Amino acid sequence: MAGKMRLFLVDDHDIVRAGLRMLFLAEPDMEIVGEAASGEAALAKVPELRPDVVIMDVAMPGMSGIEATRRIKAACPETAVLALTMHEDEQYFFEMLNAGASGYVPKRAAPDDLVAAIRVVQQGNVFLYPSLARLLVADYVNRGDSAREPDDPLTPREREVLTYIAEGYTSREIAESLVISIKTVDRHRENIMRKLGLHNRVELVKYAVAKGLIDVD
């Protein structure tokens, strides 16, 4: 049996962390390995504990969650960071993604959505809450036609692989679904990113949503 997902909580409100503890302790595949009430405290503990996922508040006194995320990802690139915040505006959303966060969940989300988001980012994928995914679409559209390819440069198989990637499937799951090798999936992924001039999963998902390959609702 695989080990439990190791979580680290960062929020400057004690009552929020207490609520998260109760939520995650009820999940048999999750355990909390540490907590911090500030970005500075998180940065001091995370590199030593090496959790699988950091649940990060965005707006905190002192070091923001954005800066803490940037530094944690630099020190621990294998640790996923999931933003959990009251702020749903475009500025915070894009700054957290650019800092290296793998997902962004509003605090008004249902507990099941948060648990699902943690499982998604722990697998190395991107979790986009529907209302926030629309910001990616708007950003893509607002860049204008000149920023987009006039014709889709992807082959039908590459579009198929891209759709699976955007929906959160791992390379192994994609290989099993398409009856191809994991190495072939990874080669398709590299070709997709090269052809589209993309650099990470967030940009892949953004492209897939804008092209209508996946639904944000």
Give pTM, 2 decimals: 0.68
Ranking 46-50, 81-85, 92-96, 132-136 by mean pLDDT, the lowest is 132-136
Calpha distance 3→103 (Å, rounded): 23
Domains, the chain, ordered by start = 5-135 (3.40.50.2300), 142-210 (1.10.10.10)
Choose between 34 and 171: higher pLDDT. 34
Who wins on pLDDT, 139 or 54? 54
For residue 163, name the pLDDT band (cuts at 50, 70, 90). Answer: confident
Q: To the nearest whole number, what is the mean pLDDT of the chain?
A: 84
| Choice between 202 and 29, residue whose per-residue pLDDT is larger | 29
- Secondary structure in 3-state letters for 97-148: HHHCCCEEEECCCCHHHHHHHHHHHHCCCCEECHHHHHHHHHHHHHCCHHHC
Longest dimension (CA), the chain: 52
**80 contacts 122 by C-beta, under 8 angstroms:** yes
| Section 54-81 average pLDDT | 93
- For residues 7 and 64, what is the distance between their CA atoms, to the nearest angstrom? 19
Whether the pLDDT of residue 146 is over 50: the answer is: no
Q: Is the pLDDT of residue 1 over 80?
A: no
Question: Cα separation of 90 and 180, whole Å?
Answer: 38
Helix (H) or strand (E) holding 29: none
What mean pLDDT is predicted for residues 142-162?
68
Cα 28 from Cα 11, distance rounded (Å): 23
CA distance linking residue 120 with residue 172, whole number of Å: 14
Q: Which of the residue ranges 48-57, 162-171, 193-202, 205-214 would you say has the lowest mean pLDDT?
A: 205-214
pLDDT > 70 in the chain, percent: 83
Give one DSSP letter per residue of 41-53, joined into a string.
Answer: HHHHHHHHH--SE
- Give the per-residue pLDDT at 144: 47
For residue 150, what pLDDT band results from cuts at 50, 70 and 90?
Answer: very low
Provide the pLDDT for residue 215.
57
Confidence grade of residue 9 (pLDDT, cut at 50, 70, 90): very high
- At residue 135, the pLDDT reads 60
| pLDDT on residue 52 | 96
Higher-confidence position of 43 and 130? 43
Using CA atoms, how far apart are residues 183 and 216, in angstroms rounded to an integer?
29
